[in-house]
Chains A and B, each alone.
Chain A
Amino acid sequence: MSLARTEPGPPLEALTHRLAETPGDFLAAPRIGNAGTVDVAAVVSDLLHALGGERLHEVDAAPFVPGDPRRATLQLVAGWLLHDPWFRQAGRFAEPARSLLASGLDRLLGVIAPADFISDPDRREELVRLVLKALGLRPEGESETQAADRLTTLDSVERLRVMRDTRLAQERIRKVQEAMEKKAAEEAAAAYGRE
């Protein structure tokens, strides 16, 4: 497996700390139709501008008009993270940030509750690493391999897949064991010679 090249980015701890301090507003209900308070598309638009890019045009806003509140909250939490001064000062991350927020986090939906990316230290670190990777960065002081290994360890989707596979494997083992028990008591097929 080849590793995508990354550049040194900000210190990991600074970003996980920022996530832990996510203002409560970002967890407030996103505006869906007439309900909710937070306008996700407006927040993303401001963010892209702050990152040195253009504001969202109406035609690009579709991914940020919420239908799923969990998805919208995850976009808002990740948006807060991307608003960190380190990214803003670099002035070159608007496009990968837009791409990440538009669809890059969707695989986490249904696996992790958005609030866990604030309250759970491992999930905080996972989101930070996912965001850094999407921007072509790795935490300050880490090698490419260290960063990739750590992200693999934290990967929630992969962890769930392994858990599901393990559960299926355990189920299969139980079925074979049951069949063995039943069949061992039963006669086998004739044997034709000594082994």
Chain B
Amino acid sequence: MTASPHLTDDERFPLIPESSRGLLARLREHEAAPRYNMACGDRLTGEGLRRVRAFEESLVRPVWNEGEVPAWVREFAATALLQVPIYRKRGGRADAFEALPTSTRADIAREPWSFVPDDQPLDDLIVYYTAGASGTPMNVLAHPEAAAKRLPLFRAALRERGVSLDGGLDRVSIAFVCSQRTTLTYASLSSVLGGAGHVKVNLNPGEWRHPDDRARFLDDCAPEIYTGDPLSFADLAALPQTTRPRALISSALALLPALRARLEARFACPVIDLYSLCESGPIGVSHGEGFRVLPSDLFVEVLDGDGTSVAPGKRGEVTLTGGRNPFLPLLRYRTGDWARLEHRADGVYLLDLEGRAPVVFRAVDGRAINNIDVTTVLRPFALARFAVHQQGDSSLRVRLNSGDDIAPVAAALRSIFGTDQAIAFESFEPGEWKVVPYATP
């Protein structure tokens, strides 16, 4: 393990005394533990924990009417226009919210400092690096409290499926599993979860002393829940561990229904799909065919290219205002993801959610095919990930995980592109993770 030279465990866990860190030592020194490459804590102070609890208590399911901008959003905008350099510079008025300029990932990548309010102390700044599916890597400035506030949102999402996340000393609450060539891995504790353990591991066998250690270690951890993405969960499902989690929370990549069903059968627990971004934290939780907006401090619009709300029922770019990261207050932040917004009595829903702007393919007979239609025909397959790219000669280059069954996928694609559609199948390169699912020349 490479411990960071910068912090001590006392600094990593201000609220968890050494006498209560026995589990941490066991997780770090476990004979089947992965070769952790980092040490990490929750860095939560007493005041911070109090604010996280208050946040949890304030959570209600957000509901607002179509065309309505809630009063708190206008107040948030007024403060942001006054105190946040990038918004102040771009101008606009809080009482004309719909006319305010939008911001994008490129803005954060270019000048993250411009999003920091004038009066925000810099002492508790933390920096996350995110690569992003569409290739704009960026530093996201954040705060330990903003990181910890994901846990109440996890709890809210789990509660919708009747699952609790209890935490408590000497128990592992969360195993965050990745399946990548390399990623940061560590054992940690959470004050929000009463000192419970939390591990982040990479299922790549190269990160372990022995490949069998993965199942042994995770069985010994017996976490309350697993978090990860469809790709890592597909790999997790293939391991022989026998302990059963209460739920899986999947995020970051589209979870196809067939894979979800397979995972639910394998782990005998609900699999919850969470729409979450580094910039905002959790946005929506899967509910029926869509995602219901989860946090009550996030206002969601879907916009066209001009920053105007699209007509009801139309798809547009998911755009966020609010959030709880004091270093990144979001004011009409375009996520790069597309969806339809639907207002229902029990909440606000994002339907047909897809990363990136719509992609229009051409069928053999020249018909236009929306990427949503392609997703629809791929839904029956338990694909952990896929990429369908149309080439200049109209042929399709389809990439799947090695071992995926190609023939039925080819038949499904030809059912919409035409029986004569040329398709070349390839496997993803090892280490590829987030991929652009759809592209045309």
Contacts and interface: CB of A to CB of B under 8 A. Distances in A.
B178 A194 contact: yes
A70 B151 CA distance: 64
Interface in A150-195: 169, 172-173, 175-177, 179-180, 183-195
B204 interface: no
A43 B212 CA distance: 99
B228 A186 contact: no
Nearest to B40: A190
Given A180-B112, A194-B229, A195-B251, A189 B38 contact: no
B276 interface: yes
Nearest to A176: B113
B113 A193 contact: no
Contacts of A192: 147, 150-151, 154, 174, 176, 198, 227
B125 A180 contact: yes
A189 B251 CA distance: 19
Interface in B161-188: 174, 176, 178, 186, 188
Contacts of A175: 122
Contacts of B252: 194-195
A193 B43 contact: no
Contact of A187 (B6, B114, B178, B274): B6
A180 B42 contact: no
Contacts of A176: 113, 116, 122, 125, 141
Contacts of A172: 85, 116, 118
Nearest to B229: A194
Contacts of B141: 176, 180
A191 B129 CA distance: 12
A189 B85 contact: no
Given A180-B139, A180-B141, A189 B40 contact: yes
Nearest to A187: B4
A188 B142 contact: yes
Contacts of A189: 40-44, 126, 142, 144, 147-148
A194 B151 CA distance: 13
A194 B228 CA distance: 6
Given A172-B85, A191-B147, A192-B174, A184 B276 contact: no
Nearest to B6: A186
A185 B125 CA distance: 12
B265 interface: no
A195 B40 contact: no
B128 A191 contact: yes
B41 A190 contact: yes
B277 interface: yes
A6 B113 CA distance: 44
B109 to A, nearest CB: 13
Contacts, number: 105
B6 A190 contact: no
Nearest to B111: A173
Interface string B247-278: 00111110000000000000000000010111
Contacts of B113: 173, 176-177, 180
B334 interface: no
Nearest to B143: A189
A186 to B, nearest CB: 4
Interface centre among B42, B125, B229, B278 (most CB of A within 10 A): B125
B130 interface: yes
Given A187-B7, A187-B40, A189-B42, A194 B227 contact: yes
B399 interface: no
B127 interface: yes
Nearest to B114: A173
B85 A188 contact: no
Contacts of B300: none
Contacts of A187: 4, 6-7, 12, 38-40
B42 A190 contact: yes
A180 B198 CA distance: 26
Contacts of B41: 189-190
A185 B44 CA distance: 19
A193 B251 contact: yes
Contacts of B42: 189-190
A195 B116 CA distance: 21
Contact of A185 (B6, B142, B277, B281): B6
Given A180-B139, A193-B154, A193-B228, A188 B122 contact: no
Interface centre among A176, A177, A183, A193 (most CB of B within 10 A): A193
B292 interface: no
A185 B150 CA distance: 23
B190 interface: yes
A194 B130 CA distance: 11
B189 to A, nearest CB: 9
B200 interface: yes
Nearest to B116: A176
Nearest to A174: B113
A193 B176 contact: yes
11 contacts: A172-B116, A176-B122, A188-B40, A189-B41, A189-B142, A190-B40, A190-B186, A192-B174, A194-B253, A195-B252, A195-B276
Interface of B: 4, 6-7, 12, 38-44, 85, 112-114, 116, 118, 122, 125-130, 139, 141-142, 144, 147-148, 150-151, 154, 174, 176, 178, 186, 188, 190, 198, 200, 227-229, 232, 249-253, 274, 276-278, 281
Given A177-B113, A183-B127, A195-B130, 20 more contacts: A172-B118, A173-B85, A176-B122, A179-B122, A184-B129, A187-B40, A188-B40, A189-B42, A189-B43, A189-B126, A190-B147, A190-B200, A191-B128, A191-B147, A191-B176, A193-B174, A193-B227, A194-B176, A194-B232, A195-B281
- What are the 10 A-B residue pairs with the smallest beta carbon separation, nearest first? A193-B227, A176-B113, A194-B252, A179-B122, A189-B144, A188-B126, A189-B147, A190-B188, A187-B4, A186-B6
